[in-house]
Amino acid sequence: MRCDAGHRTLRARCCAACRVALRLFAILLVAYGIHLLMGWVTGLALFADDRLRIGILVVFLLAYALLISVPFVPGVEIGLSLMVMEGSWIAPFIYISTVAGLLLAYVAGEWVPYARLHRVFQDLRLVRACLLLEAVEPLSRAERLEALRARLPTWFQPAATRYRYVLLAILVNLPGSAFLGGGGGILFTAGLSRLFLPAQTVLTILVAVAPVPFAVWLFDIDIGAYLD
């Protein structure tokens, strides 16, 4: 009996390891595919006419929106590259793509089933994360806020609870936010926490993303000149 139980445990661990490996392989494959696509589109843009150039820009903007929605994937560089290549006129489109990408990350976090995420954490042997999900899942939004307040230092409680939308906007614009998961990771976590209401979150993203693109557009700032 012990031998059978040990064999089943070993097989379950092997299956979990295979699932983790397949997920990592899929992520790497997608990232490499996007890298190849962006290189191909960049090379093609050098020889494109105006109509094809518009199509290429649309591809860039869509790719940018998708990239910035993925946690820990730096998509800001693509937006800056577009503003360097095309000038200030494209800044409003970068703004729209950034908002769309961050909203996509938020919606993904808001709608991901806790059971599926629990299975992923279980495969990765993240026991504490599994326990946290099990404790948080049955709680209402108000109960989650109260539980968060109880875990935080007194000085940080107002910022993380009462002024959490302001904190969210600051984190999105914080230099080095890639270490926190980037804009996509931050908004995915915000949605996953179920602490951020949709309407307020949309308004927060619209305001938080606006300064740089609109400053470039309104004042006709040449980012390329600063980079040179």
Q: Is 0.85 topped by the overall pTM?
A: no
For residue 122, name the pLDDT band (cuts at 50, 70, 90): confident
Distance CA 210, CA 190 (A): 19
For residue 44, name the pLDDT band (cuts at 50, 70, 90): low
Residue 93, pLDDT score: 87
Residue 42, pLDDT score: 58
> Is pLDDT of 7 > 60?
no
What tokens appear for 191 in the block? 């949605």
- Per the CB < 8 A criterion, the answer to whether 199 and 205 are in contact is no
The amino acid that residue 42 corresponds to is T
Residue 136, pLDDT score: 78
Range in 77-86, 91-100, 177-186, 213-222 with the lowest mean pLDDT: 77-86
For residue 223, name the pLDDT band (cuts at 50, 70, 90): low
For residue 103, name the pLDDT band (cuts at 50, 70, 90): very high
CA angle 134, 138, 143 (to 5 degrees): 110
Q: Give CA 203 to chain center in angstroms.
A: 17
Residue 75, pLDDT score: 61
Q: Which residue in 84, 79, 124, 135 sits closest to 102, CA to CA?
A: 79
Distance CA 8, CA 124 (A): 18
> Is pLDDT of 106 > 80?
yes
For residue 104, name the pLDDT band (cuts at 50, 70, 90): very high
124 vs 54, residue with greater confidence: 54
| DSSP structural state of residue 197 | -
Residues 6+ positions from 219 with CB-CB distance below 8 Å: 88
> Is pLDDT of 114 > 90?
no
> Is pLDDT of 19 > 60?
yes
Range in 26-30, 126-130, 208-212 with the lowest mean pLDDT: 26-30
